[in-house]
Structure 1
């Protein structure tokens, strides 16, 4: 009887075995919301795609980077392609949300274009943005489904910018030109800068590029009233 009592006392104060380091992050994320866990997976997948490229990345590597199990990954995404699609959509949505935020604050077209230009220049200053864009382009070349999705996102972006330009034309701030063609050209400039930076070499003077672009736009598009 006394021996059992002593063993029970020892068991009461016995130290609980520590959680293995590999499982600690997963335990800590169990209380996160589904949206937070999905973001955690997307962030981890972006890191893996940047390090290895899309095709060389395995779901096991995404799981390890995120600190979740493979089952946890598949609970939120059906495949690696689904993860990539969600990443691309997220990249574009960030830009669309920023455009809308600028429109909520600024009314004159020069301030709007300046704000959008500064947004992209800041994004390009982090070299992983152009590099990830290069991965997106590679996937669009290889995968028809991704290409169709990318075309839709590009068209949505161009249409949104064209609406902004057309409104400025109706208000007399811009000369009357084809808004879709103008928005397409502006997007091509943005994509061209990204492509150039993705190749590598010395980074361009982003502030200088923005200044020249705005100068060309003001001299070529803005009316005399808007310049006054």
Structure 2
């Protein structure tokens, strides 16, 4: 059981991370300053630095959390018969979940900024490789259970295509939010179902 002080520390970290996301969305990673995050979080610099030693340490935490969220989505939608059936239906609800992740995360623009930092880019590449490996393993298990076509031989390539499909949809709807979600979901269902279903 967590102590009162530990719970308060957790709450403060969440407060700082939420404020940082708002500041990063508005100003970008490079332009954002710790003072702005303190102000947005309504905390003193001393309180801030008790939880995060630098702006980069905040960014590290946000990147880790984003990839953890995407891993959870992979495990949910590809890790069970029920989840895979929902993925292959690819209805408006699923599209909404994927698009909500884009709204909740540190934004498409922010990811582009992160790519300019060699250390963070290396970490992102490592986590992305882990994510794709998780997708491939889930597809292998689904294939072994007869949930997707046995004839699909290049599951690594398929993992890349599924990753590109999801991230591409997120970028498209971020740039043009008035795109027809119902038509997009229906086409994705036809594409995925037609290719993957046994």
Same fold (TM over 0.5): yes
Matched, 1:41 2:12: no
Name 1:135's counterpart in structure 2. 110
Calculate the TM-score normalised by the size of structure 2.
0.83
Name 2:160's counterpart in structure 1. 184
Distance 2:188 2:90 in 1: 13
Greater shift, 210-219 or 111-120, is seen at: 111-120
The correspondence of residues 37-76 of structure 1 with structure 2, limited to 5 A, is 37-76=12-51
Count of aligned pairs between the two proteins: 192
The unaligned stretches of length 5 or more in structure 1 are 1-29, 224-228
Matched, 1:84 2:49: no
What is the Cα deviation at residue 143 of structure 1?
0.5
For the Cα contact (< 8 Å) 1:48–1:57, is it kept in 2? yes
What is the Cα deviation at residue 42 of structure 1?
0.5
Name 1:214's counterpart in structure 2. 189
SS in 2 for 1:68: coil
SS in 2 for 1:33: helix
Name 2:121's counterpart in structure 1. 147
Name 2:97's counterpart in structure 1. 122
Calculate the TM-score normalised by the size of structure 1.
0.73
Distance 1:221 1:104 in 2: 15
Query: Which among 149, 164, 171 is matched to residue 138 of structure 2?
Result: 164
1:125-166 CA-partner distances (Å, limit 9, x unpaired): 5873587122112221x1011111111121111111111111
Greater shift, 48-57 or 119-128, is seen at: 119-128
Distance 1:77 1:178 in 2: 43
What is the Cα deviation at residue 210 of structure 1?
2.1
Distance 2:92 2:131 in 1: 14
Are the structure 2 counterparts of residues 221 and 159 from structure 1 closer, same or farther at C-alpha, using a change threshold of 3 Å? same
Higher CA-based Rg: 1
Distance 2:94 2:32 in 1: 30
Greater shift, 153-162 or 115-124, is seen at: 115-124
CA-based RMSD of the aligned residues comes to 2.7
Name 1:110's counterpart in structure 2. 85
What is the Cα deviation at residue 197 of structure 1?
3.1
Are the structure 2 counterparts of residues 94 and 116 from structure 1 closer, same or farther at C-alpha, using a change threshold of 3 Å? farther
Name 1:96's counterpart in structure 2. 71
Higher relative CO (CA 8 A, sep ≥ 6), structure 1 or 2? 2
